[in-house]
Structure 1
Amino acid sequence: MTPNIAVLKNHGVPNSMILKLISNHPTTMMLNNSRISEIVAMVKEMGFDPIKATFITAVRVMSGMSKLNWEGKLELYRSLGWSEAEIFSAFKTYPTHMIVSEKKIRRGMDFFVNEMNCKPSSISKYADILSLSFEKRIVPRCSVLQVLMSKGLINKDLCLSRPLRVNEKDFLEKFVIKYLHRVPDLLRVYQGKMELLG
């Protein structure tokens, strides 16, 4: 572990960040020193700032993936319509989206593109939404948004990231309760008690 700590320090990672990594993800620091050196160099080359938490997160994510898995995930995003620039921009902003399972990524992208009419490039800007629970968050909330859009109550070009990211209380207040006088069944839609048609 000591040589790996030295690698991080030499690249300007603060002691507080290193301690956090050791405490929360000790297996990362147990990797072969040459592999850690390679990963840290790659992360820095991608433009991550060593003094920010995303640097350590990126190191952790990459250390948990083999080179083959990393390349496979890159190819998956390419096949789903993301450009090279979008893939790496998404990783730089939300490193953990790279460890979401292929099945979940495909399911989420299919839903957002084919059901919510989003462009793949727009999803790449908010890649963290791919890690959200499909059944518990994405579908219920998007069902409500679809109803509101169909009735002209919200803009069809609404960015999905905000309504999908907010906590339960805020979502209910801003997208359900606010419109109940116009759409009395909206709460039932959110709770999954009404099947949406079209």
Structure 2
Amino acid sequence: MMTCVSKIQFSGSRTVSFRCLLHCSTTSNTAQLEKNSSFLEEYLLNSLGFSKQEAVSALKKVNRTKPIKKDPNLVVNYFENLGLNKYHIKSIVSSYPKVLLCRVDKSLKPKIRFLQDLGVSGPALIKVILACKQLIWGRGLDGHFKPRINYLRELLGTDEKVVLALKKYALLLGPIECEKVDKNILLLQNYGFSKEKIAALIANNPRHIFLTTPERIEEKLRLVENFLGIPRESTMFYYGVQILCGRQKSTIDNKFDILRSYGWSNVHIFTMVRRLPLTLTMSGNRVRKSLDYFMNELGYTPYYLASRPFLFTLSLEKRVKPRNEVLKILNEKNKSTRKGDLGQVVCLRELKFVQDYLLPYKDEFPNMFESYVRNVGAQQIGTL
């Protein structure tokens, strides 16, 4: 009986001691947490321009009970040396305030050096850092970044394409649904895309390929083939898919409505699109300006323009109008040896146009020459 009582007393004693230790530990941790919060709050307010509310919100993401021995200025100075301004730094710290407690040499520099060695530098590096604020500083180099980049390398083939994709969609460094991506790639292969074409499509439209479901991808492919009428065997099919990847069908329909308002039939519209899908990327305002000039001022027909869609891609002010003025003057002066169709003349390289249409008449028509140089720019023309 005594033995039993003795055991009970011993057990109670240990329980009391444990509770005491727990209480002391908790009290100590709470005190240290408050001390850390006070230190970081003061730094956010005085050094990084946070408001009181912004600082409190940021500090909710920090739960550190160990004493702070690192100097946040080292992190901020490192960011500044990378080219980040105070607004960039504030944005990073707001999103991931623990970054101020990172070791620059062991935690920050290796990740940035890895991206720089890949080819991400300058404004592109800043863009990636800002797009992946929590991701870059909260994930490990060996455990996350290197495997992710290796996956992208295998998919895209070259570091150049990986960098291009990251510039367009930096969150490729984040979680990737590989199964979805694999299904999208298989779908593209079934439509006749080569490995190189798939890599180019992903590099130029990474967000669409990585985030879009296979069902939506197939819908785009069918639109190109059945709606735009570009057969999958055509070299233009790839460009049609690339263009539709980032656009809704309603956006395309709006472009078609503009063309119809100028008297274009569906035959004319789809003739132009099949020859040069790139015309679908132009803004509605640019399409209208081109149509006003070519149709209303020059009198070209939809048939003429549909068979020469490249005319829409040229600058009206720097290429088309200046050359048309030269042609008009030469035709008026009956310089028959230099008569030519505008659709042919605008395709000439600048040097060729200058040599054939300007230099032979520089002394005879000095105003024509000077007007062209003024409109196009001497740098564009080169030394004459």
- TM-score over 0.5 for the alignment? yes
Match of 2:225 in 1: 44
3-state SS of paired residue (1:18): helix
C-alpha contact 2:205 2:246 (8 A) present in aligned 1: no
Q: Deviations over 1:53-109 (max 9, x none)?
A: x21110011122212111111111111222111111111111011111111111111
For 1:12-23, what aligned pairs fall within 5 Å after superposition? 12-23=192-203
Q: Deviations over 1:164-183 (max 9, x none)?
A: 22221112122222343553
Which structure exhibits the higher relative contact order, with contacts defined as CA atoms closer than 8 Å and separated by 6 or more residues? 1
**Identical counterparts, % of pairs:** 27
C-alpha contact 2:314 2:320 (8 A) present in aligned 1: yes
Task: Give the aligned residue type for 1:128.
Answer: F
Which residue of 114, 131, 140 corresponds with 2:296?
A: 114
C-alpha contact 1:28 1:60 (8 A) present in aligned 2: no
Question: Mean alpha-carbon deviation: is it higher for 143-152 or for 5-14?
Answer: 143-152
C-alpha contact 1:138 1:164 (8 A) present in aligned 2: yes
Paired with 2:225 and 2:363, the residues of 1 have a C-alpha distance of 52
Paired with 2:337 and 2:254, the residues of 1 have a C-alpha distance of 36
Match of 1:81 in 2: 263
Which residue of 182, 186, 207 corresponds with 1:27?
A: 207
* CA root-mean-square deviation: 2.4
Q: Deviations over 1:112-164 (max 9, x none)?
A: 12322322321121122212222222221222122122223359994322222
C-alpha contact 1:12 1:51 (8 A) present in aligned 2: no
Match of 1:137 in 2: 319
Paired with 2:220 and 2:316, the residues of 1 have a C-alpha distance of 31
Paired with 2:289 and 2:324, the residues of 1 have a C-alpha distance of 14
Residues 69 and 51 of structure 1: CA distance in aligned 2, closer, same or farther (over 3 Å): closer
Tell me, which stretches of 5 or more residues in structure 1 are unaligned? 194-198
Q: Does 1:3 align with 2:183?
A: yes
C-alpha contact 1:14 1:51 (8 A) present in aligned 2: no
Q: Does 1:149 align with 2:149?
A: no
TM-score normalised over the length of structure 1:
0.85
Task: Give the aligned residue type for 2:286.
Answer: K
Tell me, which stretches of 5 or more residues in structure 2 are unaligned? 1-180, 376-384
C-alpha contact 2:327 2:340 (8 A) present in aligned 1: no
3-state SS of paired residue (2:193): coil
3-state SS of paired residue (2:346): helix
- Could you say which structure has the larger radius of gyration? 2
Q: Does 1:71 align with 2:271?
A: no
Which residue of 367, 377, 381 corresponds with 1:185?
A: 367
C-alpha contact 2:185 2:198 (8 A) present in aligned 1: yes
3-state SS of paired residue (2:230): coil
